[in-house]
A and B are shown apart, each in its own frame.
Chain A
Amino acid sequence: MFSSNLHRNDPPEHSPADFAVSAADVVDIAGTLFPLGLWRAELDTGLFYWSAETFRIHGMEFSAAPINLKQALSCYHAQDVQLMGRLVEDAAVGRSDFSAALRLGDDAGGYRQIVFGGRYRDVGAGELIGYFHEVSGSPTPK
């Protein structure tokens, strides 16, 4: 039911199943604490998909279609594009998970700090899934 990472420190007798709360419920609850954008990549097609919150974080209109990855990455600091790319490539090959703090350009010419993470999922021909989360606080310096 729960993500295995969420309750890995719980003692065995405190089974998440006792709470009768699903993983979907957990995501909903987490979403009330902080906005969490989700993303998914299909390894065999090379196509990336964003949730509505991810579009909002990036200041873009929602679309259910695959995203324009070139356009999406152009919103980030050039150095962080390289870092994001390397993390995604390594995960796509090594089936690993990752996270990083990145600089997303804002309208004022500065940057907002975004936490970006992901992991491999063994679905179909293989997928990467992950999240974007905007770190609240003062804008990040250039």
Chain B
Amino acid sequence: MIQQLLTRPPYAAIATIHSVFDAMQVLRQTCNSLGFRYFSVLAVPPLALEQSVSLSRLAILLSWPRELIAEYDRLDLIKTSPILDQLRRQITPLIWDLAAVAEASRGPLFETVRAMFQQYGVTSGIYCPVPDGKGSLHAVSFIGDREALDADEIATLALFSSLVVERLASVSLTASASTSALSPREVEVLKWTAEGNTSNDIARITGLSEHTVNHYAALATQKLGCTNRTQAVVHAIRMGLFS
């Protein structure tokens, strides 16, 4: 029965996720089909926050407009977010609506935050907490100005969120495994590229033919789950592959 359920939208698309880029596509489609404007997948930090925490740092995936992200982080809203605070306390989806916030509960930045979100057509949303069973907490959110979700939609998004986070974790593990599976030559070719060397330069440095250098670069790109050599080089630097 459950397997049958998982072959239907919106769950079926999750099986097509093999990279972060795929996940962005699936979440974007689900977001649009449900009438939301933006989505996010966050790593919810524990209570003891580092001073340098920001939305852009916590987000694993985030489709908010960059100007909204910049303003959110400029106001340092992560540190006082009542949503994050509540997500640490509950395991059921959290529905929020700016219009429903009681007068007494409005903090000093409430009007600023409301105006900021309304500028981007955001008045409400849902956050689905997803604990990973190892002590970490993630949350998948959809925000916008659509009408209130019904019970079926909330339940669907709760299950969808769990499946997406599980799939992303699997993709990350695969990426890590792929990185460690790069041969020394593949790592070497990527490293020389990251240092600004052309394939011809690398061939001269390594004694390989240019054709072989390009072959190693292509293999490394593929193993890292990347689309092109630029992405592979930047990805390798980010992952500390050359440390």
A-B contact count (CB 8 A): 93
Partner of A128, one of B56, B195, B230: B230
CB of A67 within 8 Å of the partner chain: yes
Chain A interface helix/strand/loop/mixed: mixed
In the complex, per-residue mask of B103-137: 1 if CB is within 8 Å of any chain A CB, else 0: 00000000000000000000000000000000000
In the complex where A44-B229, A88-B234, A92-B228 touch, is A70 in contact with B194 (Cβ < 8 A)? yes
CB of A26 within 8 Å of the partner chain: no
In the complex, what distance in Å separates the CA atom of A98 from the CA atom of B70?
A: 12
Q: List 25 A-B contacts (CB under 8 A).
A: A41-B230, A45-B198, A45-B229, A46-B217, A47-B198, A48-B230, A65-B196, A66-B196, A66-B198, A69-B195, A69-B196, A70-B191, A70-B237, A79-B52, A81-B237, A82-B57, A86-B238, A88-B231, A89-B235, A90-B21, A92-B228, A94-B21, A98-B66, A100-B56, A126-B228
- In the assembled complex, the CB of A69 is this many whole angstroms from the nearest CB of chain B, namely 5
Interface residues of B in 19-69 (CB under 8 A from A): 21, 24, 52, 56-57, 66
In the complex, what distance in Å separates the CA atom of A86 from the CA atom of B66?
A: 13
Are B196 and A82 interface neighbours, CB within 8 A? no
Partner of A73, one of B21, B217, B237: B237
Residues in A lying within 8 Å of B, measured CB to CB: 41-48, 65-71, 73, 79, 81-83, 85-86, 88-90, 92-94, 98-101, 125-126, 128
Q: Which residues of B contact A68 (CB under 8 A)?
A: 194-196
Partner of A46, one of B66, B70, B193: B193
Are A71 and B238 interface neighbours, CB within 8 A? no
CB of B81 within 8 Å of the partner chain: no
Q: Which 8 A-B pairs have the closest CB atoms?
A: A46-B229, A85-B238, A66-B196, A46-B233, A43-B228, A92-B231, A46-B193, A68-B196
B: contact size bracket = 20 to 34
Chain B interface helix/strand/loop/mixed: helix
In the complex, what distance in Å separates the CA atom of A79 from the CA atom of B238?
A: 10
In the complex, per-residue mask of B83-116: 1 if CB is within 8 Å of any chain A CB, else 0: 0000000000000000000000000000000000
Q: Which residues of B contact A65 (CB under 8 A)?
A: 196
In the complex where A41-B230, A92-B228 touch, is A47 in contact with B66 (Cβ < 8 A)? no
Are A85 and B234 interface neighbours, CB within 8 A? yes
Are A69 and B227 interface neighbours, CB within 8 A? no
In the complex, what distance in Å separates the CA atom of A67 from the CA atom of B233?
A: 13
Q: Which residues of B contact A94 (CB under 8 A)?
A: 21, 24
Q: Which residues of A contact B230 (CB under 8 A)?
A: 41-46, 48, 88, 92, 128
